[in-house]
Amino acid sequence: MLLQEILSYNEQFVENKEYVPYEATKMPQKRMVVVSCMDARLVELLPKALDLHNGDAKILKTAGGTITHPFGSIMRSIVTAVYELNADEIYIIGHHACGMSQSNPKGTLQKILDRGVASPEILSAIEYAGIDLEKWLFGFDNVEDSIQANINLVKNHPLIPKDVPVHGLVIDPHTGKLDLLVDGYKALNGVKN
């Protein structure tokens, strides 16, 4: 069982003091927040490819790296990082071949029906309450557009200081190569990318 494996590994980890190389404070040393995708290929690759070590950054992960709501949990985390944890730069990092770029909301809803979790009547009731489930589950057509939309959402947010640079990058989930999409410093100085 996975849980048992994790717990017994953990016991050894702590006993052997394997945590020592990771000791850090809660204030991010590089004063940065990263918003990226929950893709399993990025678990270790993303920090390694950016030379981020324990204690360096606040890393927020969500499906597609998408900030879906201006007052949702990701934006709340960014605001907290900026005001309480000394973060002064934001990096929005999407990736190529993202599952959310081929998301299939209709298929997901069908799976929910097939597993008997919800009936068509329940889905209708949710829609009736004003929640567009297909829109809610939809990812994006194009990663660059999605990153730009995230940047706009953060930059125009009424609680985010105007002098915080918001960068946009795309990472290759195989090689870790970064492509710069938006240089947040240039954008601050009114220079077009």
Q: Which residues bind Zn ion (CB under 5 A)?
A: 37, 39, 98
CA distances to 8, 13, 67, 133 from 17, in Å: 14, 6, 37, 46
Name which of 39 and 89 has its Cβ closer to Zn ion: 39
Q: Which residue is it, tokens 């998408």? A: 66
How far apart are the C-alpha atoms of 162 and 159, rounded to whole Å? 9
163 is in an annotated binding site: no
95 is in an annotated binding site: yes
DSSP SS3 for 190 = coil
Name which of 36 and 165 has its Cβ closer to Zn ion: 36
Tell me the closest approach of the beta carbon of residue 39 to Zn ion, in angstroms: 4
Name which of 86 and 101 has its Cβ closer to Zn ion: 101
What is the spatial order of strands in the sheet that 89-95 belongs to? 57-62, 32-37, 89-95, 166-171, 178-182
Name which of 66 and 77 has its Cβ closer to Zn ion: 66
DSSP states along 117-138: SS-HHHHHHHHHTT--HHHHH-
37 is in an annotated binding site: yes
Tell me the closest approach of the beta carbon of residue 85 to Zn ion, in angstroms: 25
Residue 1 amino acid letter: M
Tell me the closest approach of the beta carbon of residue 38 to Zn ion, in angstroms: 7
Tell me the closest approach of the beta carbon of residue 158 to Zn ion, in angstroms: 28
What residues form the annotated binding site for Zn(2+)? 37, 39, 95, 98
